Structure 1
């Protein structure tokens, strides 16, 4: 089972990958939105902001998010690590229910470019 530190490092790596993106992916990554990522097996939520092509984690909370972020993710820690390491494809994980993504319709259309 992934640790909180490993999950935070995975989010940082994801942020680095987004920062280096180009084209349509870069445009999708440049959204300015609040973000939460609930790690279900650890019962921990990372909250922050997607801005400037990066995800900036501002806080780590015990339990589910206290406020509704504009982009909300939920998954197991091992799935987060596997996605960031390229071992698990996001669209496949989302389609099978291993990863939950909630956002407004316009944001979902933009975020699909990241897939």
Structure 2
């Protein structure tokens, strides 16, 4: 099982990947949105913002997200690490229910370029 530190590192790596993106991916990463990532097996939530082409994690909180972020992810820690490392394909994980992504429809269309 991935640790809180490994999950935070995975989010940092994702953020770094987003910052170096080009074209449509860069445009999608440039959105300004609140973000939460609930790591279900650890029962912690990383809360922050997507800003300046990066994900900035402001807090790590126990339990489910205290308020509804504009972009919400939920998954096990191992799945988060595997997604960022390229070992797990997002569409398969989402389709099988291993990963939950919630956002408004417009944001979902933009986010698909990142995924």
TM-score, normalised to structure 1, is 0.99
Question: How far apart are 1:91 and its partner, in Å?
Answer: 1.2
- What is the alpha-carbon distance in structure 1 between the residues aligned to residue 36 and residue 25 of structure 2? 20
User: Partner of 1:112 in structure 2?
Assistant: 112
2:98 aligned with 1:98: yes
Question: How far apart are 1:92 and its partner, in Å?
Answer: 1.1
- What is the alpha-carbon distance in structure 1 between the residues aligned to residue 5 and residue 113 of structure 2? 28
User: Partner of 1:60 in structure 2?
Assistant: 60
Structure 1 segments, 4+ long, off by >2 Å, are none
2:42 aligned with 1:42: yes
- What is the alpha-carbon distance in structure 1 between the residues aligned to residue 10 and residue 97 of structure 2? 20
| Structure 1: gaps (5+ residues) | none
Equivalences, count: 115
2:15 aligned with 1:10: no
User: Partner of 1:32 in structure 2?
Assistant: 32
- What is the alpha-carbon distance in structure 2 between the residues aligned to residue 113 and residue 23 of structure 1? 10
- What is the alpha-carbon distance in structure 2 between the residues aligned to residue 25 and residue 54 of structure 1? 12
> 3-state DSSP class of the match of 2:112?
helix
- What is the alpha-carbon distance in structure 2 between the residues aligned to residue 91 and residue 80 of structure 1? 13
- What is the alpha-carbon distance in structure 1 between the residues aligned to residue 89 and residue 114 of structure 2? 11
RMSD: 0.4
